[in-house]
Structure 1
Amino acid sequence: MKTKFIDDVVDDLGSRKEVENVREMMKRGTGADRQLAVYEETKDLIKVVDYITEQTLLGT
């Protein structure tokens, strides 16, 4: 994700962390995207809950 057009102001605004989070979300997808992928792969809602629990414990 190209942020050159905002790069000179994100630090002044204190928004560098948020911009990096958006960048990561663009790469990995949202939590909902990943949960749907687990369901599509397994067709098992318990596996989805296990995934959510695991991610929560990891802090992601």
Structure 2
Amino acid sequence: MNLNELLTDIVDTQIDIETQGLCLNATNIQTGDVFIALQGQSSHGIDYVDQAIENGCVA
């Protein structure tokens, strides 16, 4: 699925990136996934962005 299609009802964008899925856990990222960084009880997902990128996230 195209990232632009995923975001259609949320924001008006022209981002042309093919995605495979959505993921909240950087250790479970598969190539082509979009990493969603949320606040957790003890840390924030933004702390794991580098790991998500290393694991193949596209956005």
Q: TM-score, normalised by structure 2?
A: 0.31
Q: From the two aligned structures, give the one with the greater strand fraction.
A: 2
* Structure with higher RCO (Cα < 8 A, 6+ apart): 2
Q: From the two aligned structures, give the one with the greater helix fraction.
A: 1
Q: TM-score, normalised by structure 1?
A: 0.31
